[in-house]
Amino acid sequence: MLIPHDQLEPDTLTRLIEEFVTRDGTDNGDETPLNTRVERVRHALEKGLAVIVFDPDSGQCQLALRRDVPREWLDD
């Protein structure tokens, strides 16, 4: 299930993005400041390049590139 990013409370969205950009294996030696990485993801969400995926079975949210999401999820 996709969750529109603008339906989340601003603080919740920021925490979700921060968790994503600081997750193990995401920095790859990148020295870019946290705020810059957060803003890049926020911009991708606003442009529709990234989406928030909610798994009702686990109760967890993840960020994903739109191109990596099954097409049927986008059509709902």
Confidence at residue 45, expressed as pLDDT on a 0 to 100 scale: 97
Confidence at residue 76, expressed as pLDDT on a 0 to 100 scale: 61
Does 11 score more than 60 pLDDT? Answer: yes
CA dihedral 6, 10, 13, 19 (to 10 degrees): 160
66 contacts 50 by C-beta, under 8 angstroms: yes
Burial 39-53 (b: 16+ CB within 10 A, else e): eebeebbeeeebbbb
Confidence at residue 40, expressed as pLDDT on a 0 to 100 scale: 95
* 13-63 confidence digits (pLDDT tens): 999 999 998 886 555 667 889 899 999 999 999 999 999 999 889 998 899
Confidence at residue 28, expressed as pLDDT on a 0 to 100 scale: 62
DSSP type of residue 5: G
The rounded distance, in Å, linking the Cα atoms of 41 and 18 is 9
